Structure 1
Amino acid sequence: MHVPQALPVRRCEAVKPTLPRGMERDGFVALVDAVASSLGIGAAAMMTFRTMIAATRPSAFKRGPDEPCCYLSQNEIAHKRGVTACRIREHEAALVRAGLIEKRTMANGARSGFSGCGVFFGVAIKRVDEFLSLRDEIEADRRAHARLRGQRSSHKRHLKGILCELIECQGQTAAVERIYQTFVEWPSGQALHRMSLEELQNHEAEAEALTISASQLLHEMHDRPLENERSHIQDTTQDSNQVICNDPVDTRSVGKPTRMITDKPQPDGSVHCMEKQDEAASEAHKSKFIQNLGSDRLYGLCSEEMKMWLDIERQKRGRLDFHSFVIAGQKRLPELGIHPSAWEEAVGLLDEDAAMLCVLITDAKVADPEVTILSAGAYLRGMVRLSGLVL
């Protein structure tokens, strides 16, 4: 009787993790570097990660039977890094906790390519999709942080201009003093970079509320229609060449308003100081151009999406002023796919009200079905640079 032989059992070998199509080893390292801080990995441990992964074969990340592995001993890695082996052990422990490496060593801790023992990177390669999503979140937060810093900067410039006029017209009243005292406690621009996104969001909202409060106080003082108001976007923008020229103030003092508002030391002299006369006249001329357009006409030129942001600003303020257009324009930038650096460049080359006009024009062109714009950011930057040359 014929007894059939048992067929050999085929073992399912685990498929080694590989990078997605289009990503090489160096791109993988750049990806890990972008998310390292969110994983709790510091700069020193990341340097050790780079040193170990540089000892692997780039092709192992894409094809071949072997998982990418670093066989260097801790002493060899320490020598390459210029640190002690103890520091390398600390870094490796941190990388293991973060899920970036897996250590497979002999009983005595030795590593060898012959025995397949060392530091393996498959655990991190498996997480590429997770890291890509995390990088996108980090970049979105970074852009939001930059946009909020820009808005706070706009609030600061606008509020300084309002305070100057309030002090000039009213003197140091109790209401003005309260606004000023809160204003001087605002964190510096450098301090903003150290804030978390949530902290910055709260501060920007408080700064906007204070600016709106001051603007309403000024509006009540003028008691005239908004369309006739002077733009307060630029603190250098005045109806004449008058500028405040006093010594820097001791912020602990009260009752000396005119020297509180300056950002930098000004020369001694009267309030009719005529230095930088041409520059001030140019700024005043541009602001009058914006003023003559009027808020209603500007609003009519905007896209429906921009009008939505302006309606939000109108609801906050009870009316539209030119600062509303500046803030609405900055909030529209991410929806257009424009990096905050484009706004910073526009303000640096032109001024804030002209930069706002460029954003409004770019937004209107994008919304026009008869106009094809491949990159709103490139269009805005080109317009700003051309305007800067003309001016």
Structure 2
Amino acid sequence: MERDGFVALVDTIAPLLGVGNAALSTFRVMIAMTKPRAFKDGSQEPCCYASQCEIAHKRMVNPSRIRAHERELEAAGLIERRTMANGARSGFAGCGVYFTRAIARVHDFLAMRDQLEVDRRTHTTLRGLRSVHKRHIKAALSDLIDALGVTAEVQAIIEAYQGWPDADALHRLSLADLEAHVEEADKLCTSAYDLLSNVLESSGGPVENERSYIQDTSQDPNPVTCNAHAIMRSAGKPAHSDSVDAPPTGGASCNEKEDRRGATERNTEYLAKLTPQQLYRLCSEEMQLYIDGRVGAGYPFDLRAFEIAAEMRVPELGISPSAWAKARDELQGGAATLAVLIIDAKTSGPRPQIKSPGGYLRGMIAKHREGSLNLVGGLIGLSTRCHANPGTYP
């Protein structure tokens, strides 16, 4: 490892070593005063022979601060001080600040960096899950207030929700604290939906599992007919385009092409008829495992089960947080979850059709902006593949 690469590695794992920014800056100054070739050929130990006063001058701080920084760096195992009896340093006498001890730990540092990356991704996924729960608790509370008003039970849910940390505060939570919060948020959503389900049952309305997967909020008085109206198609009939990395668009013979309404309105009109059972059959095995685990833990088989499974699959598919954030912002009404469902299914299996899940998702966002994204066509394609290959997953 070259010197600059080693410094970048230490920069990354310094918080785990208990090294503050000030001491880390001193570390950078000292290691920059070593010979780069000492990190390459191993013929000599990398060493900074500069005095504390010289380093302090470069750092523009008092020498006493440099002494404190060196103690901090030595306690973290990043440097080793070898000085004369009077504390002096000299290249001729081989006395100075050595980095051999830190270099010997490079494999440990690499493992720590990898764990940091895993934790960072987990933290990002958990924040996404909290976002799912927040959307659902707000929707559930709205329905509960409409149905019951602010009763004692509803007020208790409102107060619990108002105690949630905001989005900025989530970034500052430790991984353990964030995991605990997300679990509490999940349980609060479940309690709200259980209460709402009881209200709907007592009033004769549909319970949660009987509702459509995506609620049609477009309120379009002039529905458009489409020849691709059924999700389940018999085997042998032509499927929609399965070209690699080509986001689904409206079919050429579909009347949707002639209608210029937004993609969200068109998709929600037809997707509103889907049931969780139909969608589950189109999921990859990996997504089904997440759904099974959630339902097996006692949570309902509803929209949140699919949204949470999608959140868990996004990092596993290699989709960047920025691409997923854009998808959630622009593909409203559960469409982002369906997009991941389609991408995941087309990425899985013995003959994957998508090489770049992240690029495919960005393509779907672009199609949505153009008003030509056809999620129905993508689901029909998955359904056709299931029928053509019974016993297998898309």
CA offsets, 1:176-230, max 9 Å, x none?
Answer: 1111111111111111111111111011001001101111222222232545425
For the pair shown, the structure with the greater C-alpha radius of gyration is 1
Match of 1:369 in 2: 350
Change (3 A) 1:284 1:70: same
Q: TM-score scaled by structure 1?
A: 0.77
Match of 2:27 in 1: 49
Match of 2:129 in 1: 151
Match of 2:91 in 1: 113
- Kept in 1, the 8 Å contact 2:133–2:186? The answer is yes
- Kept in 2, the 8 Å contact 1:232–1:323? The answer is no
Shift of 1:388: 3.7
Match of 2:377 in 1: none
Match of 2:323 in 1: 342
Of 223, 229, 242, which residue of structure 1 is paired with 2:211? 229
Shift of 1:238: 4.3
Identity %: 50
- Kept in 2, the 8 Å contact 1:161–1:232? The answer is no
Match of 1:37 in 2: 15
Give the SS at the match of 1:333. helix
- Kept in 2, the 8 Å contact 1:349–1:385? The answer is no
Query: 1:157-172 maps to which residues of 2 (within 5 A)?
Result: 157-172=135-150
Gaps of 5+ in 1: 1-22, 242-280
Match of 2:294 in 1: 313
CA offsets, 1:101-149, max 9 Å, x none?
Answer: 1111111111111221111111111111100000011111111111111
Give the SS at the match of 1:119. strand
CA distance in 1, matches of 2:304, 2:102: 47
CA offsets, 1:330-364, max 9 Å, x none?
Answer: 12233334444432232123236121111111110
CA distance in 2, matches of 1:187, 1:136: 28
Query: 1:1-391 maps to which residues of 2 (within 5 A)?
Result: 23-63=1-41, 65-223=43-201, 224-226=206-208, 228-229=210-211, 238=217, 286-316=267-297, 319-351=300-332, 353-390=334-371
CA distance in 1, matches of 2:159, 2:68: 48
CA distance in 1, matches of 2:31, 2:274: 60
Aligned-residue CA RMSD in angstroms? 2.4
Change (3 A) 1:25 1:390: farther
Shift of 1:283: 6.0
Gaps of 5+ in 2: 221-261, 373-394
Give the SS at the match of 1:36. helix
CA offsets, 1:153-189, max 9 Å, x none?
Answer: 1101111011111111221122211111111111111
Give the SS at the match of 2:192. helix
CA distance in 1, matches of 2:363, 2:71: 49
Shift of 1:294: 2.2
Change (3 A) 1:232 1:151: farther
Change (3 A) 1:109 1:374: farther
Give the SS at the match of 1:93. helix
Match of 2:245 in 1: none
Q: Which moved more, 1:293-302 or 1:31-40?
A: 293-302
Give the SS at the match of 1:369. coil
CA distance in 2, matches of 1:178, 1:240: 32
Matched letter for residue 158 of structure 1: H
